[in-house]
Amino acid sequence: MRILLLTALLTLSLFADIKQEIFELYQNKEYKDVCNICFKNFSKYSKDEEYISLYAFACLKVDYIDRLSVPITILKLSPQSRANAAYFSIILMQKKLLYHALLDNYDISSLNLPTTDYILSKIFDFYTKLEKKEQKEFYIFQDENDAQIKYKLYILKDAKIDKIVIEEFHNSISVRKHIYW
C-alpha cells in the first residue's frame, strides 16, 4: 500500500515538474523545447486546456503551425480556450489558402477573413490585396507601420514538398525566415 502511494505521489510530482518545466522554458523563450516537450507528453495532458494552449502558442512561435490542428479541436471549455482555438484556426486556414493560391494559382483576393498579429496573417492580408495577375517567383511587401521592414514571399521547391517562405528584412538585411509546408 505504501509503495502504491509513493508511486502515485512520484507520478504526480513528475507531471507537476513537466508543467513547471515547460512554463519556465516558455518564459525563457525556449519555444521549440516547449513545443517538443508538450508534443511528447500530449496524451498525459490532453484534458488540460492551459497546457494545450501553452503548447499551441509555443509551436506557433517556432512556426510549427501544422501542430495547431489538434489543439484547435480540443480547446472548447472556457471562453479563453475558445478564443485561442479561433485564433489558431484563422492562422492555419490562412496558411492553407495562401499555399493553395501560390501553388495552384487559386484566386483568394475576394476573401475577407479575420486577421491576427501573426506574420503569416500579415502576409496573407498583403497577398489578398494584390490585383489578380500572373504568378511571380516572389512578392515583396512593405510593412505598413515601419518603412524599414519588408517581407519577401516565395515558394521553395523541394523534392518532397514545396514550402512557403516568408523572409523578414530590416534595412535590407534578412532578420528572420519563416518556412511552412
Nearest of 111, 121, 115 to residue 153 by alpha carbon: 121
Question: DSSP 3-state helix, strand, coil percentages of the chain (rounded to 5)?
Answer: 55, 15, 30
Q: What tens digit of pLDDT does each residue of 118-148 get?
A: 999 999 999 999 877 678 899 999 999 999 9
Is it the case that residue 11 has pLDDT exceeding 90? no
102/89 Cα distance (integer angstroms): 20
pTM here is 0.85
110: DSSP letter: T
Choose between 7 and 156: higher pLDDT. Answer: 156
